[in-house]
């Protein structure tokens, strides 16, 4: 029982909160070039925090994109090595007008801390650093060997860390990776995630006439880039959300009967999911599939944004020359990302409407992952989690994508413990993102307890 | 033969050009609130020009929107009254980066004057004012009675002039209206337009989830506002451009056989239209209809702009909560605009996808018009045009919409002479809008000659 850690966290609450707030005030939006200096500052902040916690060999590693932060502590001979991963970059905060408090001024309300990046992922990754700090403060040593590798490009595809992991397998050698970038299934319910969807992210640009044309003079004969793109995208799914692109479902693996049965036992309430989380009139998706199947074990196609033509106030009667959409596929186990990209490109070529030219730009492509629930680290994590939260640990999947977990598997040959302290309504990528303060403090205790249990 | 007018124009070329340039430098973009003062300045400029030309009772008339400018000269007893109409407002100039010279710095190149509003409609309406000035300078009098009514809301639906014409039929009483806001069929070819399409302009807003959602966590089950809008809009037309909205083709009148035959005689070259004007790989539109039918006598549905979700640089994996499109229908003779609006609303209600809510906002709705080619003013205009340009006048339609022509018909009971001096490649509503300087000068002579011929 991690009583000493619990006491340490209780006695240091104010400081642990103040330091997290300082981290959250840095608007480290990796996708926006104007925030480059903020991203650098967030990397320095992480490096400083690691050094303060007692980690050694702290490095800020320049890359072609945003820096990586590395640190290690390797003084527990005979004990396993845990590679802790997290990301210090965040999503853009727009639409700003929908935030109740400013996205980069962390604000406490109702036991939660509101700011961009609280749950995804600054607050969660900080539990690892603070667990190290707590253990070192109390014992002067750590129960396992630790390496940290923290990136600043998770929200834009993680190209730099992918290259780094591929190039440095010896430096990063470990027995298991620890990632806290997922959510608990429900409040107070210890949860380990053992499956993630992959992601293909692409831009599709459509070109019609060589310039915007007057719709009165040319309407009826000239191709319209916005309408061409609309026609193309509408063919990607049927009215039920089943993807119509040939080859996209190739290789899709159905979950085992036992896993499906365990999902049926989770406290999922569709009405609550619809009303409190999604907030629309009804859900969509493949007929004959439960909601959890649809978001965890089925591929999807989404349009994230679209722009073209005149979108200012009032009216302008143009036939637009150009239009662009940002789209993605979520992939599930056994789907080949390269084949899915090729299937998409081929489908776009074939279905581009008359008079329209299209270009597809792939921003990233990574496959899905599943973790073996019988690995000793997963057992230790489940037990550590249960002890702190007082309930049996459940095993779920996530519909999201953490490409680095695939890199750890491929290049280091290690599984990943996905021990998330977020909650389903944290609003990741949305206005009013939050993180439960209770989960922040208990997360620190749980991570420290996991190190102890895994060492034993 | 208008030799004296031709001489006057030739002797005053530099001044006539300098004054037009001064007018064009005012960025009177009616749809953008930040240009309100520029719009007012353009109204004052018009009023001053009318007074200088010798028109009387010049008024700048405030409205709920942008001001109207009125003036008259009524000292030709027994002669007809011509109501000259034009608009001093212009379209927005974006995308700015595609202009060779700045949109509000009029620039001469290759016999053309480049600037926003040169052809649509400042340069053209200025021919009327300068014709008056020429006649008054030469003779001290005018051959017909004249009224001018110039508006500043043509590009945003013309609500104020519509109300004014309806409320002041006695003040505006005339025998015919004269509008120069259309194009000649080809360079050097005198052209009268005897048909215009109507316009319904609308915004469609789609709402899915109550906030932008993480596409990994919700993708597969949550409705997507952008995709919902894409699905809806794609159903509006088939692959050939035939509108699929029930009731939209109700009442559509086919052109008379003689009119269709005359279109076949026009120097239309589809390859040139595709390559030099549209600039795409191929044309679209209803099968079995000529290009001229498609743009002159067939209804259309166009999407002018679309926006929703994340459209910045890089990637963001949201399921967007909102998306908006600007759309329009062009209407042809005998279509009822109110019934078309109702058909559209009903269709949107019926085809809004699962989980999506939609709202339709109608910005304006006006029907199509045809003018009787046997009216004496049309005969006089055709002859005046022929005399100046040295070729027989052709009769065409335009696919564009000039709602005020409908108001003149409905409230004043008069036909309109659509005597345009633009050219098909003037780039109305596009970057690098231009007006032929030759047509500007000859337009002044033609308008003066029309007044003479119509008086005779």
For residue A1, pLDDT over 60 is answered with no
Determine, for residues B304 and A315 on separate chains, whether the beta-carbon distance falls below 8 Å: yes
Any domain includes B270: no
A422 and A336 belong to one structural domain: no
pLDDT value for B400: 84
Determine the average pLDDT of the residues in A217-232: 96
B141 and B88 belong to one structural domain: yes
Give the tokens for residue A361: 């730009």
Determine, for residues B221 and A294 on separate chains, whether the beta-carbon distance falls below 8 Å: yes
Q: In whole angstroms, give the CA distance from residue A80 to residue B94.
A: 61
Q: In whole angstroms, give the CA distance from residue A449 to residue B34.
A: 61
| Neighbouring residues of A379: CB distance < 8 A, sequence distance ≥ 6 | none
Give the tokens for residue A49: 């925090």
A44 and A155 belong to one structural domain: yes
A19 and A146 belong to one structural domain: yes
Q: What is the percent of chain A with per-residue pLDDT over 90, rounded to a whole number?
A: 87
Mean pLDDT of chain A: 95
Q: Which residues 116-175 of chain B have a CB within 8 Å of chain A?
A: 155-157
Residue B303 and residue B325 in contact, taking contact as beta carbons nearer than 8 Å:
yes
Give the tokens for residue B20: 């037009």
Any domain includes B262: no
Determine, for residues A318 and B304 on separate chains, whether the beta-carbon distance falls below 8 Å: yes
Any domain includes A276: no
A398 at B interface, C-beta within 8 A = yes
A401 at B interface, C-beta within 8 A = yes
Domain closes at, from A312, A341, A366 = A366
B62 and B172 belong to one structural domain: yes
Which three-class secondary structure state does DSSP give residue B75?
Answer: coil
- Residues of B within 8 A of A298 (CB-CB) are 220
Q: Find the angle CA(B112)-CA(B419)-CA(A221) to the nearest 5 degrees.
A: 75
Give the start-end residues of each E strand in A257-389.
Answer: 300-309, 318-319, 322-331, 357-366, 369-370
Residue B82 and residue B178 in contact, taking contact as beta carbons nearer than 8 Å:
yes
For residue A292, pLDDT over 90 is answered with yes
Burial class (CB in 10 A: 0-12, 13-18, 19+), B71: buried
Determine, for residues A302 and B227 on separate chains, whether the beta-carbon distance falls below 8 Å: yes
Determine, for residues B306 and A218 on separate chains, whether the beta-carbon distance falls below 8 Å: no
A280 at B interface, C-beta within 8 A = yes
Residue A305 and residue B316 in contact, taking contact as beta carbons nearer than 8 Å:
yes
Q: What is the CATH number of the domain that holds B173?
A: 3.40.630.10
Number of domains in chain B: 2
- Residues of B within 8 A of A237 (CB-CB) are 227
Q: Find the angle CA(A393)-CA(B219)-CA(A108) to the nearest 5 degrees.
A: 60
Chain A's closest residue to B97, CA to CA, is A211
Q: In whole angstroms, give the CA distance from residue A185 to residue B216.
A: 15
> What are the pLDDT digits (tens) for A91-140?
999 889 999 999 999 999 999 999 999 999 999 999 999 999 999 999 99
Phi/psi class of residue A442: alpha, beta or left (left: φ > 0; alpha: ψ in -120 to 50)?
Answer: alpha
B315 and B413 belong to one structural domain: no
Tell me the DSSP string of A22-84.
Answer: HHHTS--BTT-GGGHHHHHHHHHHHHHHHHHHT-EEEEEE--SSSPEEEEEE---TTS-EEEE
Residue A214 is nearest to which of B309, B312, B400, comparing CB atoms?
B400
A94 and A184 belong to one structural domain: yes
Q: In whole angstroms, give the CA distance from residue A284 to residue A294.
A: 9
A310 and A240 belong to one structural domain: yes
> What are the pLDDT digits (tens) for A362-412?
998 888 988 888 899 999 999 999 999 999 999 999 888 788 998 999 899
Determine, for residues A280 and B208 on separate chains, whether the beta-carbon distance falls below 8 Å: yes
A150 and A233 belong to one structural domain: no
Residues paired with residue B416 on neighbouring β-strands, in sequence order: B177
Determine, for residues B306 and A157 on separate chains, whether the beta-carbon distance falls below 8 Å: no
Determine, for residues A92 and B239 on separate chains, whether the beta-carbon distance falls below 8 Å: no
Question: Residue B108, Cβ neighbours under 10 Å: how many?
Answer: 13
Judged by average pLDDT, the poorest of A216-230, A341-355, B368-382 is: B368-382
> What are the pLDDT digits (tens) for A228-280?
999 999 999 999 999 999 999 999 999 988 889 889 989 999 999 999 889 99
Any domain includes A316: yes
SS3 annotation, A173-227: CCCEEEECCCECCCCCCCEEEEEECEEEEEEEEEECCCCCEEHHHHCCCCCCHHH
Q: How many CA atoms lie within 13 A of B8 on its CB side?
A: 18
Any domain includes B415: yes
- Residues of A within 8 A of B354 (CB-CB) are 239, 282, 284
A9 at B interface, C-beta within 8 A = no
Q: In whole angstroms, give the CA distance from residue B92 to residue B102.
A: 13
- Residues of A within 8 A of B356 (CB-CB) are 280-281
Domain closes at, from B334, B366, B398 = B366
Which three-class secondary structure state does DSSP give residue A361?
Answer: strand
Query: Which of B235, B93, B225, B296 lies closest to A227 in space, CA to CA?
Result: B235
Residue B4 and residue B10 in contact, taking contact as beta carbons nearer than 8 Å:
no
Bridge-based pairing of strands A357-366 and A198-207 is antiparallel
Any domain includes B308: yes
Any domain includes A288: no
| Neighbouring residues of B409: CB distance < 8 A, sequence distance ≥ 6 | B369, B415, B416
Give the phi and the psi of residue A302 in degrees, each rounded to 5.
Answer: -130, 150
B96 and B215 belong to one structural domain: no
For residue A157, pLDDT over 90 is answered with no
Q: In whole angstroms, give the CA distance from residue B46 to residue B129.
A: 9
Determine, for residues A308 and B309 on separate chains, whether the beta-carbon distance falls below 8 Å: no
Q: In whole angstroms, give the CA distance from residue A140 to residue B217.
A: 40
Q: In whole angstroms, give the CA distance from residue B432 to residue A179.
A: 55
Give the tokens for residue A131: 């667990």
Residues paired with residue B56 on neighbouring β-strands, in sequence order: B72
- Residues of A within 8 A of B213 (CB-CB) are 277-278, 429-430
Determine, for residues B400 and A217 on separate chains, whether the beta-carbon distance falls below 8 Å: yes
pLDDT value for B307: 98
pLDDT value for A372: 84
- Residues of B within 8 A of A94 (CB-CB) are 310, 312
Give the tokens for residue B281: 């790989």
Residue B209 and residue B226 in contact, taking contact as beta carbons nearer than 8 Å:
no
Query: Which of A131, A192, A163 lies closest to A420 in space, CA to CA?
Result: A192
Determine, for residues B283 and A355 on separate chains, whether the beta-carbon distance falls below 8 Å: yes
Chain A's closest residue to B232, CA to CA, is A234
pLDDT value for A386: 96
Write out the H or E segment, with its range, that includes residue B200.
Answer: strand B198-207
How close B80 gets to chain A, by Cα (Å)?
A: 32
pLDDT value for A373: 82
Give the tokens for residue A423: 């909650």
- Residues of A within 8 A of B313 (CB-CB) are 31-33
Q: In whole angstroms, give the CA distance from residue B69 to residue B92.
A: 22
Residue B357 and residue B228 in contact, taking contact as beta carbons nearer than 8 Å:
no
Any domain includes A263: no
Q: What is the dihedral of CA A285, B343, B166, B33, to 10 degrees?
A: 20
B350 and B405 belong to one structural domain: no
Give the phi and the psi of residue A344 in degrees, each rounded to 5.
Answer: -70, -45
A100 at B interface, C-beta within 8 A = no
Residues paired with residue A150 on neighbouring β-strands, in sequence order: A69, A86
B339 and B410 belong to one structural domain: no
For residue A424, pLDDT over 90 is answered with no
**pLDDT, one tens digit for every residue, chain B (456 residues):** 578 999 999 999 999 999 999 999 999 999 999 999 999 999 999 999 999 999 999 999 999 999 999 999 999 999 999 999 999 999 999 889 999 999 999 999 999 999 999 999 999 999 999 999 999 999 999 999 999 999 999 998 888 999 999 999 999 999 999 999 999 999 999 999 999 999 999 999 999 999 999 898 899 999 999 999 999 999 999 999 999 999 999 999 999 888 898 899 899 999 999 998 899 999 999 999 999 999 999 999 999 999 999 999 888 899 999 999 999 999 998 999 999 999 999 999 999 999 999 999 999 888 898 888 889 999 999 999 999 999 999 999 988 878 899 899 889 999 999 999 999 889 888 899 999 999 999 999 999 999 999 999
CA distances from A353 to A224, A235, B279 (A): 10, 11, 16
How close A71 gets to chain B, by Cα (Å)?
A: 29
Which three-class secondary structure state does DSSP give residue B145?
Answer: strand
Give the start-end residues of each E strand in A386-438.
Answer: 394-398, 416-419, 434-436
Write out the H or E segment, with its range, that includes residue B58.
Answer: strand B56-61
Determine, for residues B226 and A155 on separate chains, whether the beta-carbon distance falls below 8 Å: no
Q: What range does the domain containing A153 cover?
A: 3-196+368-455
CA distances from A125 to A46, A55, B37 (A): 10, 15, 54
Residue A216 is nearest to which of B197, B312, B319, comparing CB atoms?
B197
Q: Which residues 288-327 of chain A have a CB within 8 Å of chain B?
A: 291, 294-295, 298, 300, 302-320, 323-326
Domain closes at, from A366, A387, A417 = A366
How close B102 gets to chain A, by Cα (Å)?
A: 17
Question: How large is the C-alpha radius of gyration of chain B?
Answer: 23
A399 at B interface, C-beta within 8 A = yes
pLDDT value for B157: 80
For residue A284, pLDDT over 60 is answered with yes
Is 0.90 exceeded by the ipTM? no
Query: Which of B237, B354, B214 lies closest to B303 in space, CA to CA?
Result: B237
Q: What is the CATH number of the domain that holds B214?
A: 3.30.70.360
Q: In whole angstroms, give the CA distance from residue B431 to residue B427.
A: 7
Cα torsion A48, A50, A51, A56: sign: negative
Q: In whole angstroms, give the CA distance from residue B21 to residue A76.
A: 82
Bridge-based pairing of strands A81-87 and A300-309 is unpaired
């Amino acid at each position: 029982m991690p009583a000493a850690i619990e006491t340490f966290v209780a006695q240091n609450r104010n400081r642990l909160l103040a330091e997290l707030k300082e981290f959250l005030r840095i608007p480290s939006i990796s996708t926006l070039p104007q925030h480059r200096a903020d991203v650098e500052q967030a990397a320095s902040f992480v490096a400083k925090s690691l050094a303060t916690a007692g980690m050694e060999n702290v490095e800020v590693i320049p890359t072609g994109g945003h820096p990586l932060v590395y640190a290690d502590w390797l003084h527990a001979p005979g004990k396993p090595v845990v590679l802790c991963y997290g990301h210090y970059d965040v999503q853009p905060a727009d639409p700003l007008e929908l935030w109740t408090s400013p996205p980069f001024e962390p604000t406490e309300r109702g036991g939660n801390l509101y700011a961009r990046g609280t749950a995804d992922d600054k607050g969660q990754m900080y539990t690892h650093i603070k667990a190290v700090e707590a253990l070192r403060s109390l014992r002067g040593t750590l129960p396992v060997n630790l390496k940290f590798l923290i990136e600043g490009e998770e929200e834009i595809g993680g190209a730099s860390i992918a290259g780094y992991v591929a190039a440095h397998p010896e430096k990063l050698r470990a027995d298991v990776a620890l990632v806290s970038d997922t959510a608990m299934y429900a409040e107070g319910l210890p949860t380990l995630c053992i499956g993630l969807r992959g992601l293909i992210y692409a831009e599709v640009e459509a070109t019609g006439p060589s310039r915007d044309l007057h719709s009165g003079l040319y309407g009826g004969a000239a191709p319209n880039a916005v309408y061409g793109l609309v026609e193309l995208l509408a063919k990607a799914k049927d009215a039920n959300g089943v993807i119509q692109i040939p080859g996209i479902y190739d290789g899709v693996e159905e979950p085992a009967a036992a896993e499906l049965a365990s999902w049926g036992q989770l406290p999922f309430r569709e009405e609550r999911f619809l009303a409190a989380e999604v907030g629309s009139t009804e859900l969509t998706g493949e007929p004959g599939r439960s909601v959890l199947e649809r978001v965890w074990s089925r591929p999807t196609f989404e349009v994230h944004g679209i722009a073209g033509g005149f979108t200012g106030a009032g009216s302008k009667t143009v036939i637009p020359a150009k239009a662009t959409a940002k789209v993605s596929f979520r992939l599930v186990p056994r789907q080949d990302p390269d084949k899915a990209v090729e299937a998409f490109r081929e489908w776009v070529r074939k279905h581009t409407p008359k008079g329209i030219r299209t270009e597809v730009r792939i921003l990233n492509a990574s496959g899905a992952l599943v973790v073996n629930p019988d690995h000793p680290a997963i057992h230790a994590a489940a037990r550590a989690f249960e002890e702190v939260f007082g309930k049996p640990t459940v095993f779920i999947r996530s519909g999201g994508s953490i490409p680095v977990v695939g890199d750890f598997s491929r290049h280091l040959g290690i599984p990943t413990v996905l021990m998330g302290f977020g909650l389903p309504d944290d609003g990741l990528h949305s206005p009013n993102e939050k993180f439960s303060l209770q989960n922040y403090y208990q997360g620190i205790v749980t991570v420290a307890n996991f190190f102890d249990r895994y060492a034993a």
